Structure 1
């Protein structure tokens, strides 16, 4: 784990992204992009193209696929619909469920901000885990989540330094920065490590165990 900017503090509100952060949906997303390639007239994604896209923010991905704004929104709608219909359910990353339970047991408030739908969140997390969250904001823009993060942070009435956002994409880092809150970028999701570092998250997290150390160790120390 790299502490790029901030020393750990006892965070009282942890806001999570879902896809690529809590659940391993990356391969399914690439499969769906290839499924709709013919409909939206872009090239199939091969390994080298996927790696190229992992270095880009959403607007540059749209340009790389030569999609209009309207086509992009339609494509995302189609992908989310197929995720809901699919018999496949992306799995939680190992250790995530335990981490969420431990945070809740220690009195930490939890929130979700995701561009995915309520139905898909329910499908991925299940009712038991979903009940752990004090706020669930879905259908956020793929171009940024600052509005939803701001809403939750304001409703929590906590000082900004006691709030942390956890995500796997460039837009997650940017959205947290826009709200003046700490952000930890995880490297097991969509955007590449080098792309995340370039946008200066406060922490760079390589494993769920490192995330546990960041969020739980300080809590335990002060309990």
Structure 2
């Protein structure tokens, strides 16, 4: 049986959280939404998208547009971001233990390639690029199908409640 560990890219491999919050806060100022403070970050990551919207006074129907705006704006920063603290060592250790590694992302492939090169992370056997940052369960299913893997052959690692639900 194959042993595959599939990572959600943002927040698990690349540290995008503070950048995304800064960009959200810029949008929030212009749109009249509640800004995110550093103290709220951990709590917000435990909430569903619907509950985040309520907390931040963002109408639920506008969240996809806000998410896409954030994603678009931080693409240019990705190549120069740093990995999540300790993840490079974890990836190396997992490879030593004979795991196959992969990631899911809705980021631009060229930007991800630059990030991986800039941070000398070349541990991945699989990757899955998608357009939408909101369809993780579909992305996981697509990844499994495209790579002829079964659910019980893959462990999914993420950093948010929606990652757990998608898995």
TM-score range, shorter chain: 0.7 to 0.9
TM-score normalised by L of structure 2: 0.78
Q: Is the Cα–Cα contact under 8 Å of residues 78 and 111 in structure 2 kept in the other structure?
A: no
Indicate which of 33, 46, 63 corresponds to 1:72.
63
Alpha-carbon offset, residue 38 of structure 1: 2.1
Alpha-carbon offset, residue 174 of structure 1: 0.8
Alpha-carbon offset, residue 68 of structure 1: 3.4
| Root-mean-square deviation (Å) | 2.9
The aligned length equals 166
Matched, 1:15 2:3: no
Q: Is the Cα–Cα contact under 8 Å of residues 25 and 90 in structure 1 kept in the other structure?
A: yes
Q: Is the Cα–Cα contact under 8 Å of residues 80 and 117 in structure 1 kept in the other structure?
A: no
Q: Distance in 1 between matches of 2:78 and 2:116?
A: 15
Structure whose CA Rg is larger: 1
* Deviation digits for residues 156-184 of structure 1 (CA, Å, limit 9, x no counterpart): 334432211011111111111xxxxxxxx
Matched, 1:133 2:125: yes
Q: Is the Cα–Cα contact under 8 Å of residues 167 and 173 in structure 1 kept in the other structure?
A: yes
Misfit runs of 4+, over 6 Å: none
Q: Is the Cα–Cα contact under 8 Å of residues 14 and 166 in structure 1 kept in the other structure?
A: yes
Answer 1 or 2: higher relative contact order, Cα 8 Å, separation at least 6.
Answer: 2
Alpha-carbon offset, residue 106 of structure 1: 5.4
